[in-house]
Amino acid sequence: MIYLDNAATTPVKDEVLKSMLPYFKEVYSNPSAVYSFAGKAGIAVENARRSVAELIGARADEIYFTSGGSESDNWAIKSVAETMSSSGRGKHIITSSIEHHAVLNTCRYLETKGYEVTYIGVDKDGIVSVGEIASAIRSDTVLISVMTANNEVGTIEPIEEIGELAHSRGIVFHTDAVQSYGHIPLYVNEMNIDMLSASAHKFGGPKGVGFLYVKRDVKIHSFIHGGAQERGRRAGTYNVPGIVGMGKASELCAVSMSDDIKKEIKLREHLIDRVLSEIEGVYVNGARQKRLPGNINFYIENVEGQSLLILLDQKGICVSSGSACTSGSLDPSHVLKAMGQNDERARGSVRITLSSDTTLEQIDYVADELKRIVNQLRAK
């Protein structure tokens, strides 16, 4: 099997799994208890919190553990909205039209509760205009939420500039960094980020655990009510093995990120060059350069995307047509539609996402099979 759907999820790294195992059977204590056995688990949780924070230049006490990116997005957006509206600041939110559904559907939910949301469009490469966001700001705008990089086409957004704009107007800035954390350098203070969401399974950690970074001076409501975990802001027994694994995955990313970026870009460009030169009627969706290192999104003329995926799967190649969270939906990609593509192009696109484990031999095999299968489908 050649796995090239790393934007959907990544395999747990060997070192990560090894770090987690003791916390299932040996150090199985609840870190919230008072006896010394519990303290061992508590120390492991706090060590992981520091590792997660260090990768983005944050303080450990600004990291709150969650069940993953969707919870983190929900918590950030709903809590800021509720906190600001209850204080009389306003009920207007700005986001982009290409956000993950964890953001879009949260905003749509808030619209049913009397909040107003402005959805900013993007250009043909999927890039949000800072100028359009500036024009959309109102006196009652309380939150701007724009993803760091898109999960389908990999386009990296001008986050630092958007954050600077938000701060100049006294507005909280949140970014969904689920696709970016651990893959590209992120520094919350330098990039003017107030809140950031991430999920462990996107960077070599386990599923079911993530975090929300909240800058110390940002006031938000609790999301899950119950016990006093996470300094009273997020109740629930700690997923100690998951948290430990996420901390270890963060440490590994800190060491390997620079080399991983170089390798993935080299492989990405090799595949793009081969496909564009050897198969007619193929185009790259999204920015060619300003994109995540391991992301490729092709539009292939006169080929139906789902048929292509099935035939590639028969050759042991795992790729996708977009977000795994919308798998099975017959609707064309909302991201490609927002970029100005018609339904045919949106349905004829395929996403290929690499990892540091991907090899040149695998890339060449994929290019060969893609060429053969496209010719086969077009001949029908």
Q: Kindly give the confidence (pLDDT) of every residue in the chain, 380 residues in length, as a single tens digit, with 9 standing for 90 and above.
A: 999 999 999 999 999 999 999 999 999 999 999 899 999 999 999 999 999 999 999 999 999 999 999 999 999 999 999 999 988 999 999 999 999 999 999 999 999 999 999 999 999 999 999 999 999 999 999 999 999 999 999 999 999 999 999 999 999 999 999 999 999 999 999 999 999 999 999 999 999 999 999 999 998 888 899 999 999 899 999 999 999 999 999 999 999 999 999 999 999 999 999 999 999 999 999 999 899 999 999 999 999 989 999 999 999 999 998 655 545 556 789 999 999 999 988 888 999 999 999 999 999 999 999 999 999 999 97
Query: Helix 360-379 to helix 240-278 angle, to the nearest 10 degrees?
Result: 60
DSSP letter at 201 equals G
Model pTM?
Answer: 0.96
Cβ(106)–Cβ(69) under 8 Å?
no
The amino acid that residue 318 corresponds to is: C
CA distance 77 to 330: 28
Q: Do domains 2-8+257-379 and 14-252 have the same CATH topology?
A: no
Instruction: Look at the domain 14-252 and name its fold.
Output: Aspartate Aminotransferase; domain 2 (3.40.640)
Instruction: Look at the domain 2-8+257-379 and name its fold.
Output: Aspartate Aminotransferase, domain 1 (3.90.1150)
**Residues 107, 253, 318, 325: which is the catalytic one?**
325
DSSP letter at 221 equals -
| Strand ranges in 78-139 using DSSP code E only, listed in sequence order | 92-96, 116-120
For residue 329, the SS3 value is: coil
- Using CA atoms in the order 358, 360, 362, 368, what is the torsion angle rounded to 10 degrees? 140
Q: In angstroms, what CA-CA distances link 226 with 77, 213, 259, 299?
A: 20, 21, 43, 48
Domain residue limits, the chain: 2-8+257-379, 14-252
Q: Which residues contact 371 (CB under 8 A, 6 or more apart)?
A: 275, 278, 279
> Strand order in 195-199's β-sheet?
63-66, 210-214, 195-199, 172-176, 141-145, 92-96, 116-120
Active site residue 325: yes
